[in-house]
């Protein structure tokens, strides 16, 4: 701020340009891109793609890249991704997770800490992959444990030791949402429960799983919104950073 004010005083920066820089965001008309988020939060702004047109997403991506920040966009359908990749083939599309990313430099995490992403069934994979890919793109190590739901509890127990050695677990489940309670009873670290909208009619698009997770009798479980793999992973990343005595800024 002092540098900007000095430039105005010296006449090397106009008042209008100074106002833009001090505002901390770029007004695209349909969106205000928060360029100071990395300084405040440690990570740049993440684009939520659902409800946005490919053209709007492209404009936001270009604004973020112009500031040399990494790009992460969630809820990007294959159709939207194809339109975006035509103009920006340097981006990477994660088909199952429905995410787009671009990083200035590859980040290698040499720590032996990792986040466990535990998924109940194959039908929950989209949300589990959203969580796993988010954590990886935010610089964390991830181990995946998929199709280990309570209908065949032996499948989970076969991986119990590896899950117990994680710093934090993100547990994704639909139907009755029982898996986080089981994992919570096996581990000594925080569990982030992610309910999904997968299930038959009485699942109520994820409400039964959400309520079951909120009412878990296992301690140490926090719950995010239905189908919010990104939010679950973001919280897990913050926990893993603290466990590693790291800060991203």
Residues 51/45, Cβ–Cβ less than 8 Å = no
Residue 74: which domain range?
A: 24-102
List the one residue out of 155, 238, 237, 222 whose CA is nearest residue 190: 222
Q: Is the pLDDT higher at 164 or at 109?
A: 164
Q: Which of 102, 127, 157 is the last residue of a domain?
A: 102
Is residue 3 in a domain?
Answer: no
Return the CATH number at 129. Answer: 3.40.50.1970
In a domain, 41, yes or no: yes
Tell me, yes or no, whether 163 and 220 share the same domain.
yes
Does residue 217 sit in the same domain as residue 128? Answer: yes
pLDDT (average), residues 115-129? 95
**Domain end point (choices 57, 79, 102):** 102
pLDDT of 167 above 80: yes
Mean pLDDT value across residues 155-175: 95
Whether 85 and 125 map to the same domain: the answer is: no
Q: Is 68 a member of any domain? A: yes
Residue 88 lies in a domain: yes
Q: What is the mean pLDDT of the chain?
A: 88
- Per-residue pLDDT, averaged over 156-174, amounts to 95
d(CA 124, CA 97): 11
Residues 139 and 192 in one domain: yes
The answer, yes or no, to whether residue 248 has pLDDT greater than 60, is no
**Is there a single domain that holds both residue 39 and residue 156?**
no
136 plus 229 within the same structural domain: yes
Instruction: Decide which of 79, 102, 125 is a domain's last residue.
Output: 102
Please choose, from the candidates 70, 71, 64, the residue with its C-alpha nearest in 3D space to the C-alpha of residue 26.
64
Q: Are residues 132 and 238 in the same domain?
A: yes
Same domain? For 54 and 119 the reply is no
Residue 48 exposure: Cα atoms within 13 Å on the Cβ side: 7
**Domain for residue 165, yes or no?**
yes
Please report whether residue 9 resides in a domain.
no
**Is 46 within the bounds of a domain?**
yes
Give yes or no for a contact between 54 and 89, defined as CB atoms under 8 angstroms apart: no
Q: What average pLDDT score do residues 208-213 get?
A: 95
DSSP 17-49: HHHHHHH-EEE-SS-EEETTHHHHHSSPPPEE-
Lowest-confidence region among 16-20, 86-90, 180-184: 16-20
pLDDT of residue 249: 47
- In-domain check, residue 11: no
Number of domains in the chain: 2
**Same-domain check for residues 62 and 131:** no
Regarding whether 93 and 61 lie in a shared domain, the answer is yes
Considering the domain architecture, whether residues 188 and 137 belong to the same structural domain is answered as yes
Q: Are residues 52 and 162 in the same domain?
A: no
């Amino acid at each position: 701020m002092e540098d900007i004010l000095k430039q105005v005083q010296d006449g090397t920066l106009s008042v209008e340009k100074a106002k833009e820089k001090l505002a901390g965001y770029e007004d695209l008309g349909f969106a205000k891109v928060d360029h100071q988020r990395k300084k405040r939060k440690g990570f740049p702004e993440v684009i939520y793609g659902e409800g946005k047109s490919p053209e709007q997403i492209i404009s936001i991506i270009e604004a973020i890249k112009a500031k040399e920040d990494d790009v992460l966009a969630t809820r990007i359908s294959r159709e939207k991704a194809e339109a975006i990749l035509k103009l920006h083939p340097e981006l990477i599309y994660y088909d199952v997770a429905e995410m787009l990313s671009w990083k200035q430099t590859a980040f290698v995490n040499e720590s032996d800490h990792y986040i466990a992403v535990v998924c109940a069934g194959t039908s929950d994979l989209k949300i589990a992959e959203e969580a796993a890919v988010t954590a990886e793109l935010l610089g964390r190590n991830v181990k995946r444990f998929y199709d280990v739901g309570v209908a065949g509890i032996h499948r989970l127990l076969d991986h119990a030791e590896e899950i117990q050695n994680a710093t934090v677990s993100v547990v994704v489940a639909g139907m009755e949402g029982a898996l986080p309670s089981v994992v919570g009873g096996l581990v000594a670290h925080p569990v982030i429960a992610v309910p999904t909208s997968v299930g038959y009619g009485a699942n109520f698009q994820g409400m039964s799983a959400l309520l079951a997770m909120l009412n878990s009798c296992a301690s140490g479980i926090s719950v995010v919104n239905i189908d919010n793999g990104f939010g679950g992973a973001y919280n897990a990343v913050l926990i893993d950073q603290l466990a590693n005595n790291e800060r991203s800024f």
